[in-house]
Structure 1
Amino acid sequence: MTSYRIGSSGDDVMRIQKALQDAGFYLSQPDGVFGPNTEAAVRNFQAASELGADGIVGPATWGKLFPSQSPAPAPLSGNLDTRCLALTGSFETGRLSPECFACVAGNFDGQGMSFGALQWNFGQGTLQPLLKQMFTNHLDVATTIFGSSLSQLHQALNGGRDAAMSFAVSIQDSSGKNIKDPWKQMFKSLGLTPEFQAIEVLSAAAYYGRALNLCKNYGFWTRRGRALMFDIGVQNGSIPDSVKSLILNDFRQLSQSLSAEDTELAKMRIVANRRAEAARPAFVEDVRRRKLCIAEGKGVVHGITYDLARQFGLDLGSAD
């Protein structure tokens, strides 16, 4: 579903404000503009409802505000690269778009800190270039978000890997898994900006190029086929030659009387199952569930219900 935050406006925002007003959290006159007063009211409502108080009206908060209603769903906007990244990012982070672009985690995996849809991190040196690009191209936005703390982050990025790792340790709790506020909220705000999301999309270009090559090799032509190959590139790297032979042999068994769309669907199911079977035994079913969700266009992965056409605009239409 659409999420509502600072900068949102329209009839749904007016409905949110009225619901917050009825609940005693919004004291201003509803005007349909999601500003600081609305954000503060949302945060207070979320805290009282035992939700994460991020000031954003996403699915959970909407469900609390309107328990018997649903907002009109809108497919994710943006080009195919963005939508493929948003889908795979939601699998990787357990958060639907746009929250997947702003997911921040601590040193749970020894990489210091991970951030964004594909969990770029300090340990492998993959996060530093994204942040540096943001500061170079959009310093005004970064300054608004980080304020006086920006210089500390600059020093960490310019001091090499060790400095970045030390910085990451300094801003998380004793468990080493969670970034502390205000840094957590600042990074989350960064990930929700269009400027940083565009940087994330560009930083995933290598995966997208790999997906294009895989689609060419296996004859996929739909948006969902492209999404499947993008996800394989991110989660699995590629498709080994031994698995490719099995897949192509399965393709040859398909009926020639199938329509183009049914052929694409049947081929995606074959790729999903064959690639899953090649994964390490402990992950076979997880990979299968994730890949079949894309192939079928619907499914439940890590407790999240997906409808690719409705949520991401990923259907069996042509990718070109």
Structure 2
Amino acid sequence: MPSFFLTSAIAATIVSSASALFDPSGKTNVVTYWGQGPNQERLLETCKNSAVDVINIGFITRFPDQTGTGYPETNFGNACWGDVYQNSTGQDTTLLKTCPFIGQDVIACQQTYGKKIFLSIGGGYPADYFFRSDTNARAFADFIWGAWGPVNSSWTGPRPWGNAVVDGFDFDIESVVSPSNRLTAGYTACINRLKNNLYPQDTSKNYYISGAPQCVLPDAHFTTVINRAWFDFLWIQFYNTPQCSARAGINNQNGSNRDFDMSFANWTQATSLNKNIKYYIGLPAAPKAAADDSYYLTPAEVQRTVARFYSNSRFAGLMLWEATYAATNPVCNK
């Protein structure tokens, strides 16, 4: 039994009224990432999994400030060919042009399987992206809205996924740049541009903003930004950082290491612009999905972790990194 089904089933057993559809205010949602898995299947295959509610497609890996072409850089693993868009001066960019099935799969995922599809920005490689100014950050928001938001005849730029329209944008910011102010610069302007100016242009559906911070508080990228910019959800990565990981929480409960503990409760107490922001527990979907096998929780440990925080009003579900590791993990007793 793949861990996808397993972990979501564990979450569902905590509450008898678990819904098969995404409920932004619910507690049994399951989120995953797709786009960077080894030998990954089509997005549609992940969408067929009834356990999954939200899929983040990753990633936009660089901003126009880094590419120098006016377009961002994208990388969706094996889902795209190597051809790229040219900008208005005829210069090749690093914005992938031909991703044969992503657009049609996004539409099918939404219309046939009821999934929410977000486009994720950032990722762990390369980690040199940043905004040089708030003006550039707002321009980036305008670009991604034009390219992946609702179809608008006034938009003359690229539409990499055709008529497919995402349900939101995810900020998985893991940049390593200096000086340190570049870690946060522009994100408030970008996100507020989306939330306050662009999202209201289309009232046909709800659009969301999410983030995927590391578990350490204060977080170098997010702590100040969530005070000033709107986030609907944070799926926190409780892995790859030993002192605040889900594994630290299990060890603390077991009494094997009282010095470290999982930081979920601390995150829910952090100041945020959205007073009703929802938090997700992010976990590796297989042992090899994390930097070290020890970050992977057994089903029993997942159940203990969910039970520990389920009563917290900010708890909303699980995030799994990532879809391919989940789908190819045959272990059901670890």
TM range (shorter): under 0.3
Name the structure with the higher helix share.
Answer: 1
- Bigger relative CO (Cα 8 Å, ≥ 6 apart): 2
Query: If you compute each CA radius of gyration, which structure gives the higher value, 1 or 2?
Result: 1
TM-score, normalisation: structure 2: 0.27
Name the structure with the higher strand share.
Answer: 2
